[in-house]
Structure 1
Amino acid sequence: MKSLKVLLLEDQPFQMMAMCRMLNSIGVSNVLMADSADSATQLLERHRHVDITICDLQMKGADGLDFIRYLSETDYAGALIIVSSSEVGILSCVARMAHESGISVLGYLEKPASSSHFRVLFDKFMAQPRPQEDLRSAFYSQKVVTVQEVTKALQESELVAYFQPKVAMNGLVVGVEALVRWPHSTLGMLSPAQFLPVIESAGLSDQLMWFMLEQALSVAARQELQDGSALPVAVNISPEVLLQRDFSRRVLALVAKYALSPEVLTLEIVESVFSTSSPARIESLTRLRMSGCKVAIDDFGTGASNMQRLFELPISDLKVPAEFVTGMGRDVRLRAIVEGALIMARRMGLTVTVEGVESLDDYQALSLLGEPCVQGYFIARPMSEKNLAQWLIQHAQAFPG
């Protein structure tokens, strides 16, 4: 971590020196120190970029909130860690505010922090895929590609499917979710946030969905040839395709093409799709459920639909989103939300997948609430098919049976 440049904003001299020593102890030596938001701003404008900013909240004069707003308006700070004596609820709200402002938030820590806490967050930063140095500004400004580039990428199969494993609480793999990535020729590996809005605005969502569906099913089939059992796969479905009369027939034909059982496939639909009644959508999903496919409500709890609407849908699975999960090991409010979702799902006979499990604290907190499926960086990051095959072998050796 010696190559990292870190800005530490802390107005208490003792706290500043203590945190600086903690950073040194985990191998971070290039630390810029500022005792006010103004001096931190001056340092950033002089150095133009740091990898990580560590920011206190409560300070005299311009406070941490002012400085975070400044960060959101520039490209100087690659990632943010919030450290404060404020209560957890406030830290959580500030972290969400910063994230929604476009800042990459590694996490928040209550004072007094420890070197082990910093190590976890710095390891998380180091594990993130990085662009080449000369592309850094394009990466942090979330450069948007053009419609022409996206169209060409779809036509020439430049987009690729990555796969993030889902495991049971006993460690056994229960499936993977297919996620799109774009290894751009000049910008490096692009995440969905950098090109999906362009795809949606260009009306190419359906084309992308069918591409991802085929990629996922082909991986499931190859896994079946290798191990004798197909790998369950989940694919995000464009809401518009559910209105097509032949949607369910086309999905089942694709499943049959790869000689798979329909039970292998889970279709993930965002909850907000069902905020209003849509018989056509419900009919499509019902036909697929009758054939054996699974249907999951993604981002459960964030949409506009009411509980009664969800009870009426032909669903088999719920996915609790990361925004309710990440940090639940230290936030009793998040634990209460997740526990409520698990209790409701259990009574409805639904399977639950909890996304966004990124730390041992979150995993241990989750283990006390029941036995959902788990997905997140603590388990595994999204990976290529080749890397997935290697991961499955290693994971099976660690969790036999």
Structure 2
Amino acid sequence: MARPLTSCKKSEAHFMTNKFICLLTVLSAMGAMALFAEEGTPKAAPGSLMLEKKTYPLKHALAYETTIDDEDAIAVVLSGQAVTSEKLKEAREAEKDGGDGDFSRPFLKLVFTKTGELKFWSAGAGGTSLGRHTGEATGELKVQGGRVSGKASQPLETEGMFPSGFDARFDVPLLKTGEALPASTARKGGPAANVKPTVTGVFRGNGKEAKLAYVSARWVEPFSGKPGIELVFTEKDHSKEKPGMGAAFGRFGSALIISLHDDGQIYGCQVVHSAHQKQGFSSIGRLEATEFTYEDGKVEGELTTSGQVDTFGETWEVQLKFVAPLGEIPKEFQVAEPKKPETQATPAAGASDDDEAEEPAKSDAKPAVAGLNAKDLALTKDASGVEYKALVEQLVFKSKSNVKSVCAELAASLKAQGWKNDGPDMVNPQSS
């Protein structure tokens, strides 16, 4: 009788052991699934900007205390590229002087009061800038434990000159006044990295795809006081010669020639596609460099038009990722440091006016004036939908009055501010 009892106990113990192992297996599997969910699932972008029929994903977010119009505020910036410490410093200085600050495009800037109310927003993408816009935007912000969290959105507005809308959510650390982002530690100088130039992605012209297989990067003349880089993408190998001119004339098949600064800001774009009738045209403001970096002897990033673009009746689309070696900037292409103004010698003690041989020549230069702010310009009393397009320095607004009445009101208001006519008045019965 003892044997069946012993056998029963062994079977029971064996069953309990298997059950325990099975439970551990299930728990381990659940843990692995949770870990995969945390690490393997890509995080959604914190925001998106809709501007002129294009949608721009905004992958990075930054919040900082600032002063705008002599009032304390909190700014939240969502952007395609991470904001650098240098860009943040420039923006804060501009805001203190009454400006709006600028960031690498595309970007969306939300300005909140200290109590968390959305005051206004501005944005930039492609060749369009919207400054200090309100519209139908709504938003909220909370500050807790050194972080800010909140959301803001605006449905797509189609009535204005620049159709726009956005959707944003954020939960990021708050940079207090006086605090700054860590300075970039990336090594800008040194020799070119030992990396293979590669390019992948899409380059279409009039619906036909071109296979860009080669990329190179080189330093060129500075532009607008900043270092210049030329990126050349071609179908055929151009590594044995300076490719810029040859690529522009289709010598290496379809090509893209991009001029940009080392912070990723594009200032030149030449499009050469075999499917285009007008080959080699220039188009800026439609192409963005996202996640662009120049460090450790190489440049890499992504170029995108965020969809199809129509230029002079030719359609084209770019979505490229690339990396290319680029060494230290040569001396001949370095930006010259601004010359320090010469200080006038102070006359020695006891010297009289008779000691001077001649009067110093009078300068024809006009005294410097403080920078103008678009927000200070006079507008009509019923002005609405005010938008400032920074790239072309145009101020756009709506008025219910006719053109002639608006011009008359503006002329009177601007005259009161001290403005004067320069040439004949262009408002006449034909133009109004």
In terms of fraction of residues, the more strand-rich structure is 2
Give the TM-score of the pair, scaled to structure 1.
0.28
Bigger-Rg structure (1/2): 2
In terms of fraction of residues, the more helix-rich structure is 1
Q: Which has the higher contact order (CA 8 A, sep 6+)?
A: 2
